[in-house]
Chains A and B, each alone.
Chain A
Amino acid sequence: MAILEISNLCIEFPTRRGVLSAVEHLSLSIEAGEILGIVGESGAGKSLTGNAIVGLLEPPGHVTGGVILLNGQDITHLSDAEMRKVRGAQIGVIFQDPLTSLDPLYTIGQQLVQTIQTHMDLSRADAKRRAIDLLVEVGIPAPERRFDAYPHEFSGGMRQRVVIALALCCDPCLIIADEPTTALDVSVQAQIIALLKRLAREKGVATMLVTHDMGVIAEAADRVAVIYSGRLAEIGEVRSVIDTPKHPYTKGLMDSIPQIGQNLELLPNIPGAMPRLDSRPDGCAFNPRCEKAKAVCREKMSGLFTAGEKKQMAACWVYAGGDEYA
């Protein structure tokens, strides 16, 4: 059974000029020990999806449809109090900027112990022992000494490790990592990715890795979901999506990544920009930028069709011959 199973998730923002639907009928699932990458441009709805899972959508945004199952339990419409017990305990969240994710006025030890004691019935001493174990696990040297250090005494990479330790406090079965490496330099990025991979392999944590960096996805993810304008464009094994992208958007995305050793005058790009939420065209949201757009693309939204091997699927009429995924 999948750890996380999302089906038909819809997120809407009521505004003065009408309702904006930010995420539409999104379905995906993550198995234990698996890292699912979520890629998309800014504003595509990747972070919203992550926030919706843990019930932290900023009002007025709210879930208007669909089901989120965590270990088979429906967590879509839990009350705030019930959701609070899921967050931090069963789902760990990692945010983009480790420099601002930690409260500057408390030592990392205090923040770890507080989080542990919120969810687990442990004495102070036991919580401290657990906190130090966690620091060892995420690779912080001399954890006993660092326990009483304040966030400003850590480097960016070390702080992100502390953030991960905080997310791991209570052995969550799911980690939602929202751009965990974006604010870090490349060598530290590699270390953090290696850490996330190790946690998935060794502890069987299901990980949802939200990023816009294809390199990170290629390095870390097992499967990848490409989101365009709040809709799933393509999903599949990471190698097959990268090597043989099926959806025209994914193809354009891959083509626009320059290869090492390639001599280019101009970087290939996809003409146009992602439509604003209030002016999304009828049919496929990508149709104005798509070379292969047909009449049907401008009228009806495509379902998710099998395209290629290994359960690679694309929401594109080009593959309408394949099996449609409900």
Chain B
Amino acid sequence: MINFISKRLIQSLIVMLVVALISFFLFNFVGDPVSNMVGQETTIKDMNALRERLGLNDPFLVQFGRFLGDALHGDFGISYRLQRPVEELIAERMPATLELVFVSAVFAVVLGISGGLFTGLKRNHWFSKFILTSSLVGVSLPTFIIGILLIYIFAVKLNWLPSFGRGDVVKLAGGWSTGLLTLSGWKAIILPAITLALYQMTLILRIIRSEMLEVMRTDFIKFARARGLKSRDINYGHALKNTLIPVITVTGLQVGSLIAFSIITETVFQWPGMGSLFIQAVQFADVPVMSAYLVLVAFFFVLINLIVDLLYFVVDPRLRAEIKG
């Protein structure tokens, strides 16, 4: 077990190193950082001096090592555009994104699993057919259209929910700002959370459904029925649990994409999160922000994958045995 975890940790480290390397290259490929920093009338001599002072003439490995060391300390440099430390900007924006992702993940998982169970168990019910047909909409419509539609209906026409922003936020200890403690914060998060969750929800729903259909045909479900077990125990205890491995895999990956792809939703709803920070950074070629964002998203992905791997062991005793043996 420990052996397995350390192996996975080493793999995760390698992934992070590669990502760090790529985001380090960003500095060199997206224009010359020095010419980005100085004015037009700076002499070549001054530029060279600056280059020397910033350590840009050092060998590649030394520079990369310095980048890594700084990144480990949470230091990603100064944003070109806002002239403030990147880690500060990200710390400000991260709570908004993580809250949005959290709410939509809960939304997607709860509705996805219950919808998948229903459509899997009651295949021919009219409501199952309705869910499946409408879930096609979730898969096929692009996020921004859904967002705009929701804004049109609920914000413009019905005027029930705000169309942009986070509502009132409360500062918590440690600099975390939350919108989940105020009514206006909850109102503001509903539309973007639904927009962001819709695709993941449909995906989870469809996977649970097809896995349920498969599991319900297996011998051990037949045998469980033949033993007269209650259908509640069969459906949730035996069938659902056996569908969990693929569901955990996909859900884990999807939570990662929720973080990565919240960019579009945040833009549509002007949500003050990391995604909109990143979009602005791209527009201004704000390389430090971009590279920090890249590293951070990769870190979340790696972390989630690690959690997913560990969850497999919780669910499936056969895997535990493989590792022991």
Contact = CB atoms under 8 A, between A and B. Distances in A.
Interface of A: 54, 56, 84-89, 92-93, 95-97, 100-107, 114-115, 118-119, 150, 152-153, 163, 166-167, 169
6 contacts: A88-B226, A97-B219, A101-B219, A150-B321, A163-B223, A166-B227
Given A84-B230, A103-B238, A152 B317 contact: yes
Contacts of A87: 225-228
A114 B236 CA distance: 14
B227 A88 contact: yes
Interface in B241-274: 241-242
Given A84-B228, A89-B228, A100 B219 contact: yes
Q: Which of B222, B228, B241 has the most CB of A within 10 A?
A: B228
- Those 9 A-B pairs whose CB atoms lie nearest each other, nearest first: A88-B228, A93-B226, A87-B228, A88-B227, A100-B219, A150-B317, A101-B223, A103-B220, A84-B228
Interface in B282-325: 315-318, 321
B110 interface: no
Contacts, number: 79
B233 A114 contact: yes
A186 B318 CA distance: 27
A56 B224 CA distance: 11
A96 B317 CA distance: 24
B3 interface: no
Contacts of B42: none
A93 B222 CA distance: 10
A95 B317 contact: no
What does DSSP make chain B's interface, helix, strand, loop or mixed? helix
Q: Which of A92, A96, A97, A118 has the most CB of B within 10 A?
A: A118
B316 A56 contact: no
Contacts of A115: 227-229
B28 to A, nearest CB: 51
B121 to A, nearest CB: 14
Interface string B194-222: 00000000000000000000000011101
Contacts of A56: 222, 225-226
Contacts of A85: 228
A100 B321 contact: no
A89 B316 CA distance: 30
Contact of B220 (A89, A102, A152): A102
Contacts of A118: 227-230, 233
A54 B226 CA distance: 7
